């Protein structure tokens, strides 16, 4: 056979081999996390989901209950803040006419995606600290806590915003012009027309929300200086938002880097849970996108 | 139109939504402002030395982040190189080689790897990748390259490990861009090339050349993510002040991992907090520069080719 | 269209379940009890039944110290952080005290490192900070400038073990590895590279000198701001002039060995222990308890009298009893206090011993319940907590005179 044809086959084979090599770490990672995670959870089933962290260095593997609740609370509050802002901003950007606010926002959002997430956490902490010191300087009693679930949620909301915004913006722009014209010709205000358009791209928006929520759930660095971490279930009603809180990601980070074998084991269990939720979310987004 | 009637018609209310845009813009400005304000003090104190020397001592209040800057750049460059190869290879495989039914599966697998929380990558990197690389690094090959690349007997946590982990983490993003670009090469280009009698591989290579701008964009997007990655990197990079950051088999710091590692105790010193914010500012500046380059290049793409 | 509705309905139901779960947990008032630990022992702690309308009183004793304390009237959570040195002991104390206080006093302690603990306590992000050295000069100046009144107290004693991982060494025949302060300083300065360096060799007993391999010593240190580092570098500054002038001592210092590629940073005492455990030919410094928990071989360090001594309850108490008998006022600069336990004379004295300290702002007592909670916790730690059954292996009780003074400072400082 001609060398050119041989080279062609070789090249194609190389591409496939590299691809497989590249996907192997992912498969291996999922496998390792699953195996170690299930092993860890089975040591304390179902207590693993409710109990608090075990004493370091002991035999017990304990549980990650408070972390799960922490992640849920942080993600929920972050979503409550981030989702409306992202969607409304994207709507404004795509539907506004005579103003430059929209394009400017888009440019800023693009830089946001580049932010190291730790910087976001850092600045939220910094802002709160300045406010706190400022209020005290004026002589007012400052209710601003340094570490709180709320500041953690704000940091997460900042991180999720660019993803949701971009998704909504792109999908609104892709609505065929004749459809947009039709909607506007119905005579409603811009608000109502925007609402109709949003419903039209519902699937895409849900996908974007899914991506944003997934990102928020999986972040660690921004929580280091905001939520701080806690080993206990949040209590006290809404006040709990103003106190430090734990999260699955923080727990994994702390426990994995410690030298205690029971903590390391527990971190695999927590990692498995986090991974399972992430994959479930990912699959759900895929299904929604393909249906819609 | 009275305000109430206007409100009912939703006429003037649309403008109110703009508040969310303002919120976003304000947030970005505040972030950059805080970096600048807090970081200013260290630039005044250390001046250019801040980025041209390698020292991190709280006790003597001397800070120079050259080692971290070098770490960030080297791990970034290494990571993109590997990620680009991966991206091109995967895109070729997905777009050109795979049968139709496998395309969405492999595509989804690639996208899945982008949604895995970074701390899990860090976990895997720390307990699987690092020991693996340590075993490989122990072998005789290293003694030959000894003085150039690092000292033997490493733990596995090193700038090199960080680069590998980073490349695994950022390649899905690069792949997504290259894949889209490859898909959107117009069919007539394909047909023209095949009609010239070229082999499949040669056609693919030419298509790759055709989308080279997109590949560049992918490289820069990947780089942007690489410099910002904190947690996974800090778990495997060793966290040691390594002035000879080209010795990638030694542990080191990247700017992001330095911030994550050192922030907590920074406030017990006068200048460490400004040093941290200064380092964050530099990191941000790098990301911004790359971002601007991306925009400039992709703008050029509209008129080019 | 029908499918879409089903999907939306599922999501709605899930959302309701999630929100319900969150609401439920947030309204849990009393925290769940931890699974019982095998070593819980409450025989020595009298506890009175709690009535909900008044705070009850407890009595603690230790040696000839007896002290009364009052429980808060409602559950209080105290947030503290800092030293990893003290972490194992602190977690154990916290768990026990929760039972002692009937669940009224919950302490959330994060071992973020002494430097971080001091910093976060200073800017009032934490209710108390814990460190292996007293308040550093930088922070002390700031406290003086801000006019805030505070107290610092020692809470427990410990020592620094030099751990090592030397596969070729034979413990049975040779005993522990022997090191001296000067050699340690030179290792970390990067002046001694290999295990079989003459200066390391000459310290060992003759028959074992050949067991030292020609491998570079991988010296592990702390990557985070560490009180353990502060104590260790304090010792190195004491025994090595070059270390003192070139590097100094404190939470975060330079490590010249890193530039040569033979150094490595670990996070927390745990991280250093883990790294030494996993790296052949390495050496590191950790709090004594971590050496025990991780079952790591510990070196015998040459003390001032010239004897090679391993850390143990006996050798460390030799150092403690020769150290400070008195403490400066609680809001003074205590810089010299740690020095009094370092490198003391005595045939059997371990040279690297120290205390762990806790700092509190006095005005935290503005809230009476918080004042009670912190006071009862600290008083328990300083008395019942010092008893052998409440101490984790590797930690030592404070010298009784110091415990007494500390209790006094707590009472004076918090007013209860």
- Give the pLDDT confidence of A8-55 residue by residue, as tens digits: 888 889 999 999 999 999 999 999 999 999 988 888 877 788 887 776
Among C190, C252, C257, C357, the residue to mutate for chain B (most B Cβ within 10 A): C252
Nearest one of A113, A121, A126 to A156, comparing CA atoms: A121
- Which residues of chain A neighbour C18 with C-beta distances below 8 Å? 72, 76
**CATH number of the C160-321 domain:** 3.40.190.10
Q: What tokens appear for C226 in the block?
A: 């560490």
CA distances from B169 to A110, A130, B120, B176 (A): 20, 35, 11, 13
- Which residues of chain B neighbour C115 with C-beta distances below 8 Å? 58, 264-266, 268
Note the pLDDT of residue A51: 80
- Compare C218 and C278 and report the one with higher pLDDT: C218
The answer to whether A237 contacts C91, with C-beta atoms less than 8 Å apart, is: no
Note the pLDDT of residue C34: 34
pLDDT band at C5, cuts 50/70/90?
Answer: low
Nearest one of C392, C320, C389 to C350, comparing CA atoms: C320
CATH number for domain C53-158+325-336+353-414, candidates 3.65.10.10, 3.40.50.300, 3.40.190.10, 2.40.110.10: 3.40.190.10
Contact (CB, 8 A) for C293 and C287: no
The answer to whether B287 contacts A286, with C-beta atoms less than 8 Å apart, is: no
Q: CA dihedral defined by A8, A10, A13, A18, rounded to 10 degrees? A: -110
- Compare B102 and C180 and report the one with higher pLDDT: C180
User: Which element (helix H / strand E) includes B56?
Assistant: strand B54-57
B266 lies within 8 A of chain C by CB = yes
Which range among B18-22, B41-45, B173-177, C8-12 shows the weakest confidence by mean pLDDT? Answer: C8-12
- Mean pLDDT across the stretch B14-20? 84
Note the pLDDT of residue C42: 34
Residue of B nearest to A219 (CA): B117
> Which domain does B253 fall in, by range?
49-299
Note the pLDDT of residue B137: 64
The residue ranges of every structural domain in chain A are 2-291
Q: How far is A96 from chain C (nearest CA, A)?
A: 30
Cα first-last separation, chain A: 49
Among A238, A253, A259, the residue to mutate for chain C (most C Cβ within 10 A): A259
pLDDT band at B145, cuts 50/70/90?
Answer: low
% of chain B at pLDDT higher than 70 = 88
- Which residues of chain A neighbour C123 with C-beta distances below 8 Å? 129, 146
pLDDT band at C7, cuts 50/70/90?
Answer: low
**Half-sphere exposure at residue B236, Cβ-oriented, CA atoms within 13 angstroms:** 32
By Cβ distance, the residue of B24, B94, B264 closest to A109 is B24
Q: Is the peptide bond before A46 cis (omega within 30 degrees of 0)?
A: yes
Model-level pTM? Answer: 0.82
Angle at A4 between CA B201 and CA B103, to 5 degrees: 20
- Mean pLDDT across the stretch C307-336? 90
What are the backbone angles phi and psi of residue A183, rounded to the nearest 5°? -60, -45
Nearest one of C291, C289, C270, C36 to A260, comparing CA atoms: C270
The answer to whether C106 contacts A240, with C-beta atoms less than 8 Å apart, is: no
Interface list for B 147-166 with C (CB within 8 A): 150-151, 153, 155, 157
Contact (CB, 8 A) for A116 and B230: yes
- Which residues of chain A neighbour C92 with C-beta distances below 8 Å? 55
By Cβ distance, the residue of C119, C252, C281 closest to B153 is C281
| Per-residue pLDDT tens over the stretch A149-170 | 888 999 999 999 998 999 899 8
% of chain A at pLDDT higher than 70 = 96
Q: Does A282 score more than 80 pLDDT? A: yes
Note the pLDDT of residue A31: 93
Q: How far is C356 from chain B (nearest CA, A)?
A: 17
Note the pLDDT of residue B1: 43
| Per-residue pLDDT tens over the stretch C221-233 | 998 888 899 999 9
Helix (H, G, I), strand (E, B) or coil at C133: coil
Note the pLDDT of residue C47: 40
Residue of B nearest to C139 (CA): B268
Neighbours of chain B (3+ CB pairs under 8 A): A, C
Contact (CB, 8 A) for C291 and C298: yes
Nearest one of C171, C155, C145 to C94, comparing CA atoms: C155
The answer to whether A84 contacts B20, with C-beta atoms less than 8 Å apart, is: yes
| Per-residue pLDDT tens over the stretch C224-266 | 888 899 999 999 999 999 999 999 998 889 898 888 878 888 8
Residue of A nearest to C29 (CA): A235
What are the backbone angles phi and psi of residue C27, rounded to the nearest 5°? -95, 5
The answer to whether B230 contacts A278, with C-beta atoms less than 8 Å apart, is: no
On average, the pLDDT of chain C sits at 84
CA–CA separation, C285 and C287 (whole Å): 7
User: Which element (helix H / strand E) includes C106?
Assistant: strand C105-110
- Which residues of chain C neighbour B250 with C-beta distances below 8 Å? 261
Q: Does B165 score more than 90 pLDDT? A: yes
If one counts every other C-beta atom within 10 angstroms of the C-beta of residue A5, the result is 12
Note the pLDDT of residue C2: 43
In a domain, B6, yes or no: no
The answer to whether A146 contacts C267, with C-beta atoms less than 8 Å apart, is: no
C85 Cβ neighbours under 8 A, 6+ residues apart: C114, C132, C158, C227, C228, C231, C269, C287, C356
Contact (CB, 8 A) for C168 and C212: yes
Note the pLDDT of residue B248: 77
- Mean pLDDT across the stretch C208-217? 88
The answer to whether A252 contacts B120, with C-beta atoms less than 8 Å apart, is: yes
Note the pLDDT of residue B143: 56
DSSP B192-205: HHHHTT--HHHHHH
Helix (H, G, I), strand (E, B) or coil at B268: helix
Helix (H, G, I), strand (E, B) or coil at C65: strand
Class of domain A2-291 (CATH, top level): mainly alpha
The answer to whether A69 contacts C21, with C-beta atoms less than 8 Å apart, is: yes
Angle, nearest 10°, between helix axes A177-185 and A190-200? 140
H helix and E strand count, chain A: 11, 0
On average, the pLDDT of chain A sits at 85
The residue ranges of every structural domain in chain C are 53-158+325-336+353-414, 160-321
- Maximum CA extent, chain C: 87
H helix and E strand count, chain B: 15, 2
Helix (H, G, I), strand (E, B) or coil at B63: strand
Task: Report the DSSP beta bridge partners of residue C302.
Answer: C308
Q: Does B80 score more than 70 pLDDT? A: yes
Note the pLDDT of residue C55: 60
CA–CA separation, B263 and B257 (whole Å): 10
What are the backbone angles phi and psi of residue B211, rounded to the nearest 5°? -95, 25
Contact (CB, 8 A) for B180 and B213: no
- Mean pLDDT across the stretch C321-339? 89
Note the pLDDT of residue A101: 87
In a domain, B79, yes or no: yes
Q: Does B305 score more than 60 pLDDT? A: no
Strand C128-131 to C76-82 pairing: parallel
Nearest one of A179, A187, A159 to A83, comparing CA atoms: A159
Q: What tokens appear for B180 in the block?
A: 């889209």
Note the pLDDT of residue C237: 94
CA–CA separation, C347 and C353 (whole Å): 15
pLDDT band at C49, cuts 50/70/90?
Answer: very low
- Mean pLDDT across the stretch B227-235? 85
Contact (CB, 8 A) for C89 and C395: yes
Angle, nearest 10°, between helix axes A190-200 and A149-173? 90
- Which residues of chain C neighbour A146 with C-beta distances below 8 Å? 120, 123-125
Task: Report the DSSP beta bridge partners of residue C301.
Answer: C179, C309
Whose tokens are 């319940």? That residue is: C369
- Compare C4 and C37 and report the one with higher pLDDT: C4
- Mean pLDDT across the stretch A241-246? 82
pLDDT band at B250, cuts 50/70/90?
Answer: confident
By Cβ distance, the residue of A58, A232, A235 closest to C37 is A58
Note the pLDDT of residue C239: 94
| Per-residue pLDDT tens over the stretch C51-88 | 344 567 888 988 888 898 889 888 888 989 999 889 88
In a domain, B35, yes or no: no
Which range among B4-18, B261-275, C25-39 shows the weakest confidence by mean pLDDT? Answer: C25-39
A244 lies within 8 A of chain C by CB = yes
Neighbours of chain C (3+ CB pairs under 8 A): A, B
Count of the separate structural domains present in chain B: 1
Decide if C53-158+325-336+353-414 and C160-321 have a common fold. yes
By Cβ distance, the residue of C252, C260, C265 closest to B265 is C252
CA distances from B281 to A34, B255, B290, B300 (A): 38, 10, 14, 28
ipTM of the complex: 0.86
- Which residues of chain C neighbour B151 with C-beta distances below 8 Å? 216, 260-262
CA distances from A286 to B15, B111, B170, B253, C209 (A): 34, 10, 20, 37, 65
CA–CA separation, A145 and A148 (whole Å): 6
Note the pLDDT of residue B217: 82
CA–CA separation, B201 and A9 (whole Å): 7
Contact (CB, 8 A) for A123 and B35: yes
B246 lies within 8 A of chain C by CB = no
Q: What tokens appear for A115 in the block?
A: 């932010």
């Amino acid at each position: 056979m001609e060398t050119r044809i041989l080279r062609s086959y070789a090249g194609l084979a190389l591409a496939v081999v590299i691809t497989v090599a590249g996907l192997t770490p992912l498969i291996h990672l999922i496998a390792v996390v699953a195996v170690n995670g299930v092993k860890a959870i089975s040591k304390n089933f179902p207590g693993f989901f409710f109990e608090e962290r075990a004493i370091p260095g002991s035999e017990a593997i304990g549980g990650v209950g408070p972390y799960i609740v922490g992640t849920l609370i942080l993600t929920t509050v972050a979503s409550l803040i981030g989702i409306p802002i992202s969607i409304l901003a994207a709507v404004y950007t795509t539907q506004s006419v005579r103003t430059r606010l929209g394009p400017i926002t888009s440019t800023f959002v693009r830089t946001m995606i580049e932010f190291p997430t730790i910087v976001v956490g850092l600045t939220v902490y910094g802002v709160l600290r300045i406010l706190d010191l400022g209020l005290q300087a004026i002589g007012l009693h400052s209710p601003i806590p340094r570490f709180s679930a709320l500041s953690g949620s704000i940091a997460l909301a900042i991180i999720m915003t660019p993803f949701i915004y971009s998704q909504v913006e792109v999908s609104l722009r892709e609505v065929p012009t004749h459809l947009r014209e039709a909607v506007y010709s119905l005579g409603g205000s811009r608000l109502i027309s925007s609402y109709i358009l949003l419903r039209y791209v519902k699937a895409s928006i849900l996908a974007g929300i899914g991506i944003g929520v997934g990102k928020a759930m999986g972040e660690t660095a921004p929580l280091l200086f905001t939520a701080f971490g806690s080993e206990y279930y949040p209590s006290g009603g809404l006040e709990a938002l103003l106190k430090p809180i734990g999260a699955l990601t923080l727990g994994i980070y702390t426990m994995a880097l410690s030298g205690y074998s029971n903590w390391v084991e527990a971190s695999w269990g927590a990692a498995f849970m986090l991974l399972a939720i992430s994959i479930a979310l990912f699959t759900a987004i895929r299904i929604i996108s393909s249906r819609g | 139109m009275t305000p109430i009637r206007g409100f009912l018609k939703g006429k003037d209310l649309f403008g109110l939504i703009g508040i969310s845009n303002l919120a976003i813009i304000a947030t970005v400005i505040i972030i950059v402002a805080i970096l600048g304000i807090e970081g200013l003090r260290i630039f005044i104190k250390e001046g250019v030395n801040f980025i041209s020397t390698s020292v991190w001592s709280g006790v003597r209040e001397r800070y120079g982040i050259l080692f971290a800057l070098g770490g960030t750049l080297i791990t970034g460059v290494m990571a993109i190189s590997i990620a680009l190869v991966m991206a091109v290879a995967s895109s070729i495989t997905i777009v050109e080689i795979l049968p139709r039914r496998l395309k969405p599966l492999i595509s989804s697998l690639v996208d899945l790897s982008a949604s895995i929380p970074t701390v899990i990558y860090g976990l895997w990197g720390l307990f699987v990748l690092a020991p693996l690389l340590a075993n490989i690094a122990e072998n005789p090959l290293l003694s030959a390259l000894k003085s150039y690349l690092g000292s033997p007997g490493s733990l596995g946590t090193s700038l090199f490990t960080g680069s590998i982990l980073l490349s695994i983490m950022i390649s899905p993003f690069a792949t997504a861009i290259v894949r889209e670009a490859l898909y959107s090469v117009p069919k007539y280009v394909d047909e023209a090339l095949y009609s010239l009698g070229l082999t499949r591989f040669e056609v693919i290579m030419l298509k790759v050349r055709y989308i080279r701008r997109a590949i560049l964009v992918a490289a820069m997007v990947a780089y942007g993510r690489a410099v910002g990655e904190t947690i996974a990197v800090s778990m495997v990079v060793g966290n040691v002040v390594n002035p000879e950051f080209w010795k990638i088999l030694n542990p080191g710091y990247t700017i992001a991992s330095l911030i994550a590692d050192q922030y907590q105790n920074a406030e017990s010193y006068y200048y460490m907090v400004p040093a941290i914010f200064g380092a964050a500012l530099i990191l941000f500046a790098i990301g911004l520069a790359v971002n601007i380059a991306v925009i400039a290049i992709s703008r050029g793409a509209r008129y080019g080719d | 269209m029908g499918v879409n509705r089903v999907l939306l309905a599922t999501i709605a139901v899930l959302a309701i379940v999630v929100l319900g779960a969150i609401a439920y947990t947030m309204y849990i008032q009393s925290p769940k009890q931890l699974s019982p630990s095998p070593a819980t022992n409450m025989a020595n702690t009298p506890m009175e039944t709690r009535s909900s309308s008044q705070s009850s009183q407890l009595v603690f004793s230790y040696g000839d110290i007896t002290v009364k304390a009052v429980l808060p009237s409602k559950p209080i959570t105290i947030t503290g952080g800092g030293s990893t040195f003290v972490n194992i002991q602190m977690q154990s104390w916290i768990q026990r005290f929760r039972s002692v206080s009937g669940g009224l006093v919950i302490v959330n302690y994060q071992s973020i490192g002494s430097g971080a603990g001091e910093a976060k306590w200073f800017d009032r992000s934490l209710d108390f900070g814990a460190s292996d050295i007293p308040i550093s000069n930088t922070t002390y100046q700031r406290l003086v400038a801000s006019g805030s009144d505070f107290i610092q107290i020692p809470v427990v004693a410990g020592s620094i073990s030099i751990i090592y991982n030397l596969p070729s060494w034979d413990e049975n025949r040779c005993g522990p590895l022997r090191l001296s302060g000067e050699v340690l300083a030179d290792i970390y300065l990067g002046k001694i590279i290999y295990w079989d360096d003459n200066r390391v060799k000459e310290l060992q007993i003759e028959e074992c000198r050949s067991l030292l391999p020609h491998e570079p010593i991988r010296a592990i240190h702390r990557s985070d701001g560490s009180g353990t580092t502060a104590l260790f570098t304090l010792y190195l500054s004491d025994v090595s002039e070059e270390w003192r002038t070139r590097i100094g001592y404190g939470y975060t210092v330079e490590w010249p060995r890193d530039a040569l590629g033979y150094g490595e940073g670990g996070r927390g005492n745990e991280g250093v222990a883990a790294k030494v455990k996993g790296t052949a030919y390495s050496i590191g410094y950790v709090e004594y308890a971590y050496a025990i928990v991780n079952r790591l071989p510990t070196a015998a360090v040459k003390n001032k009298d010239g004897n090679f001594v391993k850390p143990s309850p006996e050798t460390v108490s030799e150092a403690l009893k020769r150290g400070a008998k008195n403490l400066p006022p609680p809001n003074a600069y205590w810089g010299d206090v740690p020095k009094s336990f370092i490198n003391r004379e005595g045939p059997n004295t371990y040279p690297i011993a120290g205390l762990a300290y806790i700092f509190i702002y006095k005005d935290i007592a503005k809230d009476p319940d918080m004042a009670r909670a912190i006071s009862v916790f600290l008083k328990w730690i300083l008395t019942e907590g010092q008893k052998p059954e409440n101490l984790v292996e590797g930690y030592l009780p404070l010298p009784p005179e110091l415990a007494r003074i500390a209790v006094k400072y707590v009472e004076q400082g918090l007013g209860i």
